[in-house]
Amino acid sequence: MSIKGVIFDIGQTLINQLFKERSYSRSEEFFSHVYDYLLGKQVSNHFECFPLKSEFISELTILYKTTRAEKNQSTHFYIEVPLFSQALEVLVSFNNKHSQKIASVEDHRHLMPILEEAFRQPSFVDDSAYECWPDTLETLKELKRLGFKIALASNTAHPVKHEVVMKKFGISSIVDADVISGYCGVRKPNPKMLDLCCSLLELPKEEVVVVGDLLDRDILLANLCGVRSIWINAIPYDIEQNLKRIREGSAQYLPTAGICCLSQLIPTIEYLDSVTPEPDQVKVGYYFPDIKKKLETGRKKAFVPNSKIFYMPIEIRSPPEKLGSFDVIIQKVTDLYFSENKKDQEALEGLQEYMDKHPEVLVLDPLEDLALTNNRKVFCEQFPCIEFEDGVRVRPPRLLKSTKEFPCIVKDERACTAPGVHEVTIAFNSAGLDTVLQNFKGNPVVQEWVPHSKGLFKVYVLGEDFQVKPRCGCDFSEPPDFLKFNYHKDWPQGLKEVPNCTQISNEVVSRINHKISELTGLGLISYDLLVETDTQFVIVDLNYFPNYLGYENFAEKMDAYVLSRLQKHNLNL
């Protein structure tokens, strides 16, 4: 049956929680407001001994943490424990510890309405810790325009928080129903939660799909109910929890399909609804550790399953084969090479281990071919000068060591998305260069300055396909000692923008691309191409798997590249 309703998780599916390490301190701030509210309602008069504010906050936080940990670790925690009932437990427990008059929670059940009212105060919620994913509202509105019904199904003992955040971002006015565990009393993966959603949407289970980030909550809920599911692997609420479930290898945690951001959702629903996979459909797993890369990919509607290719976002700190049998793995792990984080190194080791176990699987692009894209110094030293028979010559920038030529460029040796890596400094004299190098954090490379007056182009390469984007260059008249700027942004004050009026032959660029591919084995690259003369060119910063900004028909071209490379790979097996 066709899908007519979408049941969304909230946290890390529709919204992103910021500063997660401060989540408990924010809860303590909320509990502080609750305490004041209870005092104002004279709740303390109902107890012989009443805690101080600090004692109330401390005891409730401990109980909240303990219960939350139990809920997160177990897939059989089907009943929600509201915070207001835990608050009453804290008050009764404190009274019994410090008073001779022993009471029970039941004795104070009449206080429940006041406690519940306290925990439903929207003004107590700090909503600054949340943001909408950039494609959330667009996706929800488009679903509504297409006639889908939308429900929210969220686990939280603190439901007012979700109410405030949903209202703040304009989500509440779009959805048709919400089922929040703190109000309904059951929590995912309890099948009753899905039953409630379907009842409110007035749809049978066969006509809904569940979308969420946690395999042992959202995806398990769908599988227990025999419902299709779409796993969103953007920034999961608990990545370790997902990794644990993947390692277990149980089919109950496997989604029907997967996306890395919401922009991919609607075409993925269309795939589940109406596309018949070809008998030899290629299975592709893809891994992007960076959320920016995931969002860029989604905006292009790329990596969406179709009749020829089934795409699934994967994790490489757990065995990828536990998520399915793949023909191709596409990766963007360049940044992990520079990370000192133990988990990032585990990810690299996990991918290498998978490759060693599965030599039949094509990895795009091979890890051993990334050396020239990871390090600018290595690129300048090892990338050869390319000379063609017709006199066309292509070279990397010269590194400046003992000889000082001005102006010159100072960059970070690393070529990745780490903080500061895209900062570039032009030094115009010895004093400027000395100042820059003295204050440089990291390992600098000093390169020659190649004038932009003859033309500057950004070249994006996707296998045999490529697109050339003219870029404005820069010039200077009365420069200071140095100028620092981010080259992904506009030229800074002090540099004059130079429009690119030069034409470049696609045939020449094509030959350059083929030569780079021969030398590096890479098919997913970009580079800046500076024109010195009609036949002399300089390649600056060879980048692996760039953002493909403005690349036309990127999704279709990526599909074609995958199929072409796989065909060649299989012939060589």
Do the domain assignments include residue 509?
yes
Query: Residue 2 and residue 498: Cα distance in Å, rounded?
Result: 54
Task: Give yes or no: residues 428 and 532 share one domain.
Answer: yes
Q: Which residue, 340, 369, 398, sits at the end of a domain?
A: 369
Do the domain assignments include residue 160?
no
Q: Tell me the pairing of strands 149-154 and 5-8.
A: parallel
Name the helix (H) or strand (E) containing 38. Answer: helix 23-40
Task: Give yes or no: residues 457 and 483 share one domain.
Answer: yes
SS3 percent helix, strand, coil of the chain, rounded to 5, is 45, 20, 35
pLDDT of res. 307: 98
Of 364, 232, 344, 362, the closest CA to residue 289 belongs to 344
* Region class of 214: left (phi > 0), else alpha (psi between -120 and 50), else beta: beta
CATH of the domain at 471: 3.30.470.20
Task: Give yes or no: residues 365 and 378 share one domain.
Answer: no
Q: Name the domain count of the chain.
A: 3
pLDDT of res. 493: 74
Do the domain assignments include residue 164?
no
Task: Give yes or no: residues 413 and 538 share one domain.
Answer: yes
Distances (CA, A) of 438 to 329, 376, 404, 415, 444: 42, 20, 16, 21, 10
pLDDT of res. 205: 98
Do the domain assignments include residue 141?
yes
Do the domain assignments include residue 158?
no
Task: Give yes or no: residues 308 and 383 share one domain.
Answer: no
Task: Give yes or no: residues 184 and 93 share one domain.
Answer: no
Determine if the pTM surpasses 0.85: yes
Do the domain assignments include residue 163?
no
Do the domain assignments include residue 341?
yes
Task: Give yes or no: residues 303 and 401 share one domain.
Answer: no
* Region class of 249: left (phi > 0), else alpha (psi between -120 and 50), else beta: left
Instruction: Please name the residues in contact with 113: beta carbons below 8 A apart, sequence gap of 6 or more.
Output: none
Task: Give yes or no: residues 308 and 321 share one domain.
Answer: yes
User: What are 5's strand-pairing partners?
Assistant: 149, 208
Task: Give yes or no: residues 236 and 359 share one domain.
Answer: yes
Task: Give yes or no: residues 399 and 439 share one domain.
Answer: yes
Q: Which residue, 344, 369, 394, sits at the end of a domain?
A: 369
Mean pLDDT by 10 residues, the chain (573 residues): 95 93 92 98 96 98 92 86 95 95 93 97 94 98 99 95 95 98 96 98 98 98 98 95 97 98 98 95 97 95 98 97 97 89 94 96 92 92 96 97 85 83 90 94 93 92 97 83 83 76 91 96 96 95 94 98 96 78
CATH of the domain at 141: 3.40.50.1000
Q: Do 31 and 121 contact (CB within 8 A), yes or no? A: no
Distances (CA, A) of 349 to 19, 53, 235, 352: 28, 49, 21, 5
Angle between helices 53-73 and 23-40 (to 10 degrees): 130
**Amino acid at site 388:** F
pLDDT of res. 536: 97
Q: Tell me the pairing of strands 208-212 and 228-232.
A: parallel
How many C-beta atoms lie closer than 10 Å to residue 353's C-beta? 13
Q: Alpha helices, DSSP H only, in 365-482?
A: 371-374, 376-382, 430-438
Task: Give yes or no: residues 32 and 149 share one domain.
Answer: no
Q: Is the peptide bond before 113 cis (omega within 30 degrees of 0)?
A: no
Do the domain assignments include residue 130?
no
Task: Give yes or no: residues 86 and 106 share one domain.
Answer: yes
Q: Which residue range forms the structural domain that includes residue 53?
A: 15-124
Of 259, 257, 231, the closest CA to residue 245 belongs to 231
Distances (CA, A) of 26 to 91, 127, 343, 545: 21, 10, 27, 39
Of 323, 311, 315, 321, the closest CA to residue 264 belongs to 311
Q: Which residue, 369, 394, 426, sits at the end of a domain?
A: 369
Query: Residue 388 and residue 565: Cα distance in Å, rounded?
Result: 26
